[in-house]
Amino acid sequence: MKEYLLGIDIGTSACKVALFRRDGSVAASGGEGYEVSYPRPGFAQQSPDEWWRAVCTALRRMLADSGADPGQIAGIGVDGQSWSAVALDREGSVLCDTPIWMDTRAASICEALNERMSADRIFSLAGNPMQPSYTTAKLLWYRQEMPEVYERTAKILQSNSYLVFRLTGAISQDPSQGYGLHCFNMRTGEWDRERCEEFGIPFRLLPEIRGCHEVVGFVTREAAELTGLVQGTPVVAGGLDAACAALGAGVIEAGQTQEQGGQAGGMSICTDTCLADPRLIVSMHVVPGHWLLQGGTTGGGGVMRWIERELAGEERAAGQSSGRSTLDLLNDTARAVPAGSEGVIFLPYMSGERSPIWKPSAKGVFYGLDFGKTRGHMIRAAMEGVAFSLRHNLETANQVGADAGVLRAVGGAANSLLWTQMKADITGRTIEVMASDTATTLGAAILAGVGTGVYESFEEAVRLCVKVRRTHRPDPDTREVYDGNYRRYLQIADRLSCFWG
């Protein structure tokens, strides 16, 4: 049996690559960054070709630095950010930058569709509301605003399926990313031709749906030359990053919950039936026969990246002299402020907001500032605000009948002991931290392992690979202050909603 499985993650700010042994331990890892472009208000887009270049660079560097034999890779899994709309022409060239999950340019198109076709009717098939973040609206925006691109488009791909295409030449669509298109039947996992016609979406644009762990192709000679991989290595269809993160955290049974701490924040509750609510997001899991009821906020780790860029001059300077990271020092600054930030409250709606309020024009807000407040209050309030958004989504899911128990945390934010404890205190739930930085790539690698027979089942893979690193339990002493701030958080969002449409 070959020694490694390779996971590739197409994130918002960077790609990550990792080689895993059969027991889930990391043999080598790497990454490469890329930019998000914001050319106009409401626009957030990236170049899929930049994703590919970053993956090639990261793979070559990782293989060279580690000395790992690429011939020992049994299979490759790719996960990616949601709701892309990668337009390929007949020759397989990308026709334009793709709007990403933060993009809200198609808001007016969604309003018109919801009125013409009925929002309830759209929701009944897709299980998700018609919102500008989704792929459907972006595709229709191409038709309306970029007809020259639309007419030349042969296929629409998601982030992971585009990377699979570049690796293998195979065109595919996995079911976990199907939720981006409202002509996808969320209960059966199939395209609905009639709904395609109603939207005016040509059926030919939609790739064949292949199982997330199904081998869809093999590394081509060209891809092998660019990446350092071996020609003929099997590649599976892969899936949604949040779903792969859930798998990498061991969330494969109904009721288990993953807490996401990447660029975006949120949670994914595993269910064995399709539970849907217009305030939340539902997707198929990468594990067959299961779904994920998700809550996704535009705030998350991205909030702290903004804080680091705009407010952390003091910590950056201290970090240069001490050798500590700026984010680590920001934790120290926030820790010096009492729980509740002495009344300062932050709404983390830094690129509009998704669930459960669905306000594309929502804005980030600090409330409660006065001359007695410091940067530390703002930093801690920002962290608490992300946790409030998590609680808001969890409470909404509970109303639908999906009650989360223990949360399994993944993503870079889970490396912060302070922030993870805040989330436990604010939500009132125990949080278990897995291998937070590699859970998503591990999930992608597990898909490859199941698809190539390295693992007999998802259950075997989780048993071998997933381990709890630390546990955070709610501190009852903070409950009263956090409950009060959370009520005000909801009130502020409600009062400001009239400005956000």
**pLDDT tens for each residue of 293-316:** 999 888 888 999 999 999 999 999
For residue 145, the model assigns a pLDDT of: 98
Q: CATH second-level architecture of 301-402+479-500?
A: 2-Layer Sandwich (3.30)
Give me the chain's average pLDDT, please. Answer: 96
Segment 277-290 shows an average pLDDT of: 97
Q: Among the listed ranges 139-143, 400-404, 445-449, which one has the minimum average pLDDT value?
A: 400-404
486 contacts 367 by C-beta, under 8 angstroms: no
**pLDDT higher than 70, residue 37:** yes
What's this model's pTM, rounded to 2 decimal places?
A: 0.92
pLDDT digits (tens, 9 = 90+) for 15-25: 999 999 999 99
For residue 296, the model assigns a pLDDT of: 87
Cα separation of 265 and 285, whole Å?
A: 18
For residue 411, the model assigns a pLDDT of: 84
499's CB contacts (< 8 A; 6+ apart) are: none
pLDDT digits (tens, 9 = 90+) for 192-217: 999 999 999 999 999 999 999 999 99
For residue 403, the model assigns a pLDDT of: 86
Kindly indicate the confidence band of residue 436, based on its pLDDT and cuts at 50, 70 and 90.
low
For residue 299, the model assigns a pLDDT of: 87
Segment 384-396 shows an average pLDDT of: 97
Kindly indicate the confidence band of residue 263, based on its pLDDT and cuts at 50, 70 and 90.
confident
Task: Tell me which fold the domain 4-250 belongs to.
Answer: Nucleotidyltransferase; domain 5 (3.30.420)
Amino acid at 414: A
Extents of the domains making up the chain: 4-250, 301-402+479-500
Q: Determine the distance from the C-alpha atom of residue 495 to the mean position of all C-alpha atoms in its chain, rounded to a whole number.
A: 29
Within 13 Å, how many C-alpha atoms sit on residue 29's CB side? 17
Give the residues across from 266 on adjacent strands: 260, 296
Same fold for the domain at 4-250 and the one at 301-402+479-500? yes
pLDDT digits (tens, 9 = 90+) for 61-107: 999 999 999 999 999 999 999 999 999 999 999 999 999 999 999 99
Helix (H) or strand (E) holding 403: none
Kindly indicate the confidence band of residue 264, based on its pLDDT and cuts at 50, 70 and 90.
confident
Segment 334-361 shows an average pLDDT of: 95
Hey, what long-range contacts does 37-45 have (CB within 8 A, 24 or more apart)? 37/97, 40/105, 42/103, 42/104, 42/105, 42/107, 42/132, 42/352, 42/360, 43/99, 43/103, 43/105, 44/99, 44/100, 44/101, 44/102, 44/103, 44/104, 44/351, 45/97, 45/98, 45/99, 45/100, 45/103
Segment 478-501 shows an average pLDDT of: 96
